Structure 1
Amino acid sequence: MSITAAADGSALGNPGPAGWAWYIDENTWRAGGWPHGTNNMGELKAVLDLLEATAVDADQHLHILCDSQYVINSVTKWMPGWKRKGWRKKDGKPVMNVELLKDIDRALAGRSVEFEWVKGHSGHAMNEAADQRANAAATAFSRQQDPQVGPGYRGGGGAGASPVVPSGAASVPAAGSADEPADDLFSLFDPSPTAPAASCSTAVEETALVADAPGATDFAQITVREQALLGGRLRADPPSAAELLHPAFSEVGASGRRFDRDEILAHLAPLTDVDAEEFVADEIAPGVVLLRYLTTGPDGTAERTSVWVRENGRWLLRHHQGTPLGS
């Protein structure tokens, strides 16, 4: 068996709002990007995400159609020498886009992968489909909108692809079976089986009374929402928690695995004895806020980062990641 896919990147201004996409067919494709990036970043990210998405079918040969000689030469010709030199070029200068290249190198391990160069903008159907989606993602970021991320890859018995995450988040394998306890939202801590449940209306209204109060700052609204997601009332009532999560929400859990919104909500459970402090918020783009803070609980201390986005006047959690801190 073999998988054939086109991968492409796009940047408006280069650097500027950037997008990436890979395409297999109308029901199997994915796209994403960044508010600021380069065309080469998009080209590499498209290949990386394709490798990660198809890892569920790692036993199949992967045929990647690519119009970037830079990507093909980087992966098939130059990378071995860069690695020997500590990811530096012949002149001793550091390799550009090294983190993406390192991730691709890891994702290629044990895979049968073939790259084929195709001329861009020449009517090649799959290349054009990937290019259009990458350009649409870059355009969305230029308008401060979320891009259309696509249905993802559904090989390997129907496993869906994980959602797009901000460029700074780790790229990791998908979660295990649905019966395996997930280290889901803020769950470095043991769940409490006895925390009281709350009705959907009660939990959401309780949050809204504070967060949406007249004159409340964006920082106050976001912090209250984040703290509500730590509380037993919302965590005991996933439908209420869902109202604070973006449709494309993703999380990188304590184990380094990535979870999508449905997986998180399926495993959401109350926590006990969790303290959150040292909240710091930074606006990284209009309508996008990075929130950082620390949590302490029975299993130790963790550094937390959350990305909140404003949509239709409401702040929604777009991505979360927790990193355990050593004792």
Structure 2
Amino acid sequence: MTITAAADGSALGNPGPAGWAWYIDDDCWAAGGWPHGTNNQGELMAVLDLLRSTAHLPGEHLRILCDSQYVINCITKWMPGWKRKGWRKADGRPVLNVDLLQQIDEAVKGRSYEFEWVRGHTGHDLNEAADLRARAVAVAYQQGTTAPTGPGFTHRPGAEARPADTAAEEPVPAAPATGTRRPEPAAAAGGAAEPDLFSELEDLDRPVDEGRPEHLVLALEEELLRPETRTDFGRMAVLLHPEFAEIGESGRMWTREDIINALRPDPAADSELDLLGVERLGEESILLTYRSRGRTGSSLRSSLWLRDAGRWRLRFHQGTPERG
């Protein structure tokens, strides 16, 4: 089995309040951080904790997705030379973050692993999920609130691994760097995990349906309004455009970061949706208008969906309560 996980770090101000996270799926992830740290420290700590969390499965190959060339190069290219020089660089100066690197050096001994570079902030599901969790921890330290830590590694030996790539997006350049050995491709080892709702919805958006994607956008809108979605890191990351903005029923302006950090249920959740219109504004944009009816009354709503990196994402939403 191949364990595929994304590792990421975040620092507000760099240095500043910092967080780290690794992510396999919604049931298997971990995060942490410090009141003061750097982005590189967060990236390295995410990898270290992932190695430690999977240390009880030394025979399983570990595929680490990382958007930091610094981290990949440190571990796969530079560490052997630094060790020979007493953890000093070619110019004789001490290596930065040596404490974390030395612990990683110990943690990779005897492990089968590889790193794969992914471009950050381009809609890669696992990378975005790890990034959101790392940033949430950094924000928690900044604001003095409770930081999310995650369930940790919950998979057991013999459990199915997550498929190597489930995102319907353009492939990103990869720079694999292997550890002790490289096994057969993941597809040859066991079956694929059960697809989630988003995989099923994206199946509807194959080229044969390019002419009428309105049904997909409507299904995604309905999914976004569900309480379980509005309180889930990974699902919100998939559905919301990087530049998402919302004007809530109270008149408050919400950014993507605001909503994900708050993870608040939507007032329209579990309400009846009366579709008023679906307008194709262009090849890459669709406007939905509808009325939601729920326990708190009815509201008129509009949502602008844009096709971004091969998938539909919500760019703007506004809700206006209807008066009596």
* TM-score, with structure 2 as normaliser: 0.48
* TM-score, with structure 1 as normaliser: 0.48
